[in-house]
Amino acid sequence: MKIELRKKLDVRKIYSNVDEKVESTVDFVNKRLARTSLMALKFMLPSRISNPFEWSGVLTFVSFFVLAFTGGFLTLYYVPTFTVSTTASGGWYTAFDSVYRITYSVAFGYAIRSIHYWAANVMILAAFIHLAYYYVRGRYKNPNEIIWVTGMILGTLTILEAYTGYDLIMNARAIEAISIGRKLLASLQDYSPLLPAFNWILEGQGIYDIVTRFYGFHLILVPFLMLAAILVHFPKNLKLDVSSILFTLGVIVIAAGVLPVPLGTKYIPGQPLTATVPEWYLSGLYALLRSGGYLPHIFTGFVAGVAIPAVVVTLFIMVPFLDKKLKRAWFDRTFYPNLLAGAMASFVYVTILGFLLPSIPIRPDLFYTSIFFIGFSAFAITYGLKNYYVKKAGVSPALNDKPSLPDRFLAAIHIYSYQMLFPLSILFLFVAGSLTWVAYTVMIHYGTTVGLITSAQFTQYMHDAVLYGIPLALLFPTGVAAIAIWIGTKLNPRPKVPKTSYVLGEVTATQIMSVMFAIGLVLTALVVYSIIIGSQFAMLVDAGGLMIVFGGAYHIFRLSQPVKSLLEE
Amino acid sequence: MMAVGILAPAITLVSYLYRDPLPSPLPKTKISNVSQLNVGDTLVFFYPTSDNQYRSILFRLGNTSWTAYNYQCTHLGCPLRLLPDEYPLGFIGPCPCHGSMFNVKDGTVHRGPALSPLPVVDLEIGQTSGDIYAVDLVGTPTIHGPGRGSIVKFVASE
């Protein structure tokens, strides 16, 4: 009976078919690309256990693709305008009204807008990770200088694209961001009336032009420049990891379903603005802008908002021309990898400070001293730690036969980061999902007892909670399975052949895959059900879960492939 | 799973693109009241549906002289606007996309790449209550066609 069932439900075969399809498609595309102007480009399937940071660039591009796709659909209903009725009763008709319409009256409009927003956040986060990893690995060195410089340009353009994007909503927050941008462009004139004021680049004739210009920049100009830079930035061999791409898409879609992006309040000229903090990737700049304190004539908008960021970006661009030693591994290099630790610590500090006490000016003496202090401490600590371990081990920790405990820990993070990243993220999603669910239920219950919510609404809300809760809870066994694999790899003695020699037992893998397949079926049913009842956010959560589970099972299948084909890769 | 993987996004995008057809005949919708607009004032409103894709604008040109147009450029559909400098001269525009301008009086093209006059919204005004109603949108204008202002019907009682 048991054997028959296993034969009937041969999950392994399904995934091996998928694997064959993926490989043959990649092969097909590679051969055909040879006839195009992209002849050098080659897609490669990564070896089964390799570092996911290696293809963080591809994940950034995947988010970019999602953005282009959803953005294209958003343009169909977005109206870039800012018009007034000259009567008091008529009010303003602005781009905000069209965003409002996309959000609340177009079918699935809120879902598409939410995906667009979360894909932007994921893209910027992935780009930061990509930058940090490739910096630490010394990938900017000869002969990668041009790739590095275009990468820095791409990063700057990405931030600009995000900035123009969230200003298009024309809510109060967007107007504040726009006015900061205008002030920055005009601030050069503070130094001499003879210098040009560049605010007309954004403004034109006023607020009527701002919205059309931001639309043009966001839709055509900046993406076109980004595509041009991408064309140069793309390496010859692109690592195409299906499961991590599905994982990225799943995270974007689940985030869009669980945390739909708010609309904000409509901006009407003449009404006072309340201070709001910009998005997390710009809150650091916001903190810098508030750092004038009692020395506003020294730390002007130009110095804090233009000069300091420009110096930082220029330094990053200049790195390959300053650090010319050819050694790439972080344990063979001093100074530059530690410099990144300092820069990252300062960035995190400035970013957090941007969120604290908005609209209150920051004292420049304390602010700049603490930036320097935090940056320098991170630099010194990493510098000292690294020197200590390299000296203690004699050679680099990765090559030592009997490394110390911290070294083994670092090595484990390095080698098994994928296995860790995957279950930990799912665990995080599960915990966050369950907490949300519990909080939601408690709140609804409270609302019902107080009399805020009718019993019909209570039933509806509980129904929603189950619809969101089940998919997130179902991801939990997936996470447990993946953690079990990781622990298993730690308990079993490691074979002596290279890092990539770990193989998951075929039977174990098949069992895990069967469980995941069953979860996938439940999630599929939930997707269908949420489409039928027309709940767009439930559909997003379920579809995202489906992507993650499917991608995870495919990854486990690849882990359990025989070693022979692994060595061929 | 495969089928759902293809169908779910397809259903999402198709229903995103779907729009209800316009009601026929067009409904009679209250826009404003005579007392709320002084001579020279304008009002942006949505007609024939409250859906803001159909933007229209109402002008009070004189004491009893009213006109209303669809507020999208007839060239490529960009949202039109009034500039403080241009409107007193009697023009709508220039359009932010390619600079077309239209005459306020009859909606004909004053300048620019647009070829057709603006579609007109016909009005009905209650003489006692002073309520202004939009009753029809005379759309699909012909190229170089004669423009006209709104036909305004003053009704004694509703």
Partner residues linked to B104 by β-bridges: none
B52 touches chain A (CB under 8 A): yes
Residue A393 — pLDDT band, cuts 50, 70, 90? low
User: Can you give the pLDDT at residue A483?
Assistant: 61
Min Cα–Cα distance to chain A from B147, Å? 23
Residue A413 — pLDDT band, cuts 50, 70, 90? low
What is the SS3 assignment for A374-437?
A: HHHHHHHHHHHHHHHHHHHHCCCCCCCCCCCHHHHHHHHHHHHHHHHHHHHHHHHHHHHHHHHH
For residue B94, cis peptide bond before it (omega within 30 degrees of 0): yes
- What class, spelled out in words, does domain A50-271 have in CATH? mainly alpha
Asked if A208 lies within 8 A of B81 by C-beta distance, the reply is: yes
Asked if A83 lies within 8 A of B11 by C-beta distance, the reply is: no
A353: its two tokens = 């400070």
| Candidates B15, B38, B51; nearest CB to A101 | B51
Asked if A86 lies within 8 A of B51 by C-beta distance, the reply is: no
Domain that holds residue B27: 23-155
Spell out which residues of chain A touch residue B80, defining contact as CB-CB under 8 Å: 83
A128-148 tens-digit pLDDT: 999 998 998 888 888 889 999
Which residues are CB-contacts of A178 (< 8 A; sequence separation ≥ 6)?
A167, A202, A210, A214
Q: What torsion, rounded to 10 degrees, do the Cα atoms A488, A493, A499, A500 define?
A: -60
Number of domains making up chain B: 1
Which range of A216-230, A398-412, B86-100 scores highest in mean pLDDT? It is A216-230
Which residues are CB-contacts of A336 (< 8 A; sequence separation ≥ 6)?
A135, A138, A319, A323
In a domain, B148, yes or no: yes
User: Can you give the pLDDT at residue A259?
Assistant: 82
B39 touches chain A (CB under 8 A): no
Asked if A83 lies within 8 A of B44 by C-beta distance, the reply is: yes
Beta carbons of B60 and B35 less than 8 angstroms apart: no
Min Cα–Cα distance to chain A from B40, Å? 8
- Enter the pTM of the model: 0.81
User: Can you give the pLDDT at residue A115?
Assistant: 95
In a domain, B135, yes or no: yes
Asked if B55 lies within 8 A of A112 by C-beta distance, the reply is: no
Is 80 exceeded by the pLDDT of residue A161? Answer: yes
Beta carbons of A268 and A91 less than 8 angstroms apart: yes
Distance CA B133, CA A407 (A): 78
Min Cα–Cα distance to chain A from B51, Å? 7
Distance CA A557, CA A301 (A): 55
Neighbours of A291 (CB within 10 A): 25
Residue spans of the domains in chain A: they are 9-44, 50-271, 277-397, 404-569
Write out the E strands in B23-89.
29-33, 42-46, 55-60, 66-70
Is 50 exceeded by the pLDDT of residue A568? Answer: no
Is 50 exceeded by the pLDDT of residue A366? Answer: yes
Distance CA A354, CA A331 (A): 34
User: Can you give the pLDDT at residue A51?
Assistant: 66
Asked if A89 lies within 8 A of B32 by C-beta distance, the reply is: yes
In a domain, B74, yes or no: yes
In a domain, B18, yes or no: no
A354: its two tokens = 């941007």
In a domain, B12, yes or no: no
Residue B152 — pLDDT band, cuts 50, 70, 90? confident
B71 touches chain A (CB under 8 A): yes
Could you tell me which of A363, A98, A209, A229 has the C-alpha nearest to residue B97?
Answer: A209
User: Can you give the pLDDT at residue A502?
Assistant: 46
A31: its two tokens = 């051969």
Is 70 exceeded by the pLDDT of residue A1? Answer: no
Asked if A87 lies within 8 A of B18 by C-beta distance, the reply is: no
Pairing of strands A237-239, A42-44: parallel
User: Can you give the pLDDT at residue A403?
Assistant: 52
- Mean pLDDT is lowest, of A183-187, A325-329, A414-418, B105-109, for A414-418
Residues in B 110-129 with any Cβ partner in A closer than 8 A:
none
* DSSP per-residue string spanning A309-345: HHHHHHHHHHHHHH------SGGG--SHHHHHHHHHH
Residue B46 — pLDDT band, cuts 50, 70, 90? confident
Residue A564 — pLDDT band, cuts 50, 70, 90? very low
| Candidates A83, A90, A520; nearest CB to B81 | A83
User: Can you give the pLDDT at residue A500?
Assistant: 41
Q: What percent of chain A shows pLDDT beyond 70?
A: 72
- The sign of the dihedral angle between the CA atoms of A549, A553, A558, A560 is positive
In a domain, B96, yes or no: yes
Is 90 exceeded by the pLDDT of residue A123? Answer: yes
Query: What CATH number did the domain enclosing B141 receive?
Result: 2.102.10.10
More confident: A68 or B98: A68
Which residues are CB-contacts of A296 (< 8 A; sequence separation ≥ 6)?
none
Asked if B4 lies within 8 A of A527 by C-beta distance, the reply is: yes
Mean pLDDT of chain A: 78
User: Can you give the pLDDT at residue A496?
Assistant: 44
Asked if B96 lies within 8 A of A531 by C-beta distance, the reply is: no
Residue A566 — pLDDT band, cuts 50, 70, 90? very low
- Mean pLDDT is lowest, of A455-459, B92-96, B148-152, for A455-459
A206-263 tens-digit pLDDT: 777 888 889 999 999 999 999 999 989 988 888 888 888 998 999 899 888 888 888 8
Is 90 exceeded by the pLDDT of residue A60? Answer: yes
Beta carbons of B68 and B57 less than 8 angstroms apart: yes
Cα distances (Å, whole numbers) of residue A218 to A155, A166, A211, B33: 15, 10, 10, 40
